[in-house]
Amino acid sequence: MCGNNMSVPLLSEAVTVPGTEKETAVVIFLHGLGDTGHGWADTMTSIRLPYIKYICPHAPRIPVTLNMKMTMPSCIDHSFFSIVKAIIDHEVKNGIPSSRIILGGFSQGGALSLYTALTSQQHLAGVVGLSCWLPLHKTFPQAASGSGNKDTPILQCHGEMDPMIPVQFGAMTAEKLKTIISPQNVTFRTYPGLMHRHNLKWKSFLTLCMSLLLLSSHVLSSQVYLLIC
């Protein structure tokens, strides 16, 4: 069941899917352009693990140049970047180590997840980017000089028939990531016939990967990488 259970005013609108047992880990998942956290909260409910709390925040509504300045929810906004960092800090202050937090997202949300992880000092369990790219890629690797995630596993999934963000962009992002963090910790997985969306195979794979990434505090990142592959 989804609900809003965050006490910090800045985060009060984020949709959460609580764990069914004692929560020892958190997944923060960011939606794409024009969407809200509700759709992905439903997806997280369908794949949830009992010890994980899933947080799906709503991006602010801003004018989007790509869509003729129409106002809609967009993750590519500095205020939302600050909100995501605040959510991570909030969870750490409430007893969840950053090494037990996975940051992920779809499309714009995936892009912001990559950027946030690479510029954050908080060491995360892993990063999941679905149908996405690395924003401000020319500022890297310099922008990641203080990152706590140079050994953090990053998983990218991309539909081979994606008309919005061509799979080639995902492949180029994966190659760029290998110049920023340990190359063996970058996994790029494609799905034949899949467009700009997720499917059942994707969801099943995500469930497995989230379980494995949360082992990273107990096993080497390279071992997690081998299990994912």
Q: Report the catalytic residues.
A: 107, 162, 196
CA distance 44 to 112: 19
How large is the angle between the packed helices 200-213 and 221-228, nearest 10 degrees?
Answer: 160
Identify which of 4, 6, 5, 2 has the alpha carbon closest to the alpha carbon of residue 86.
6
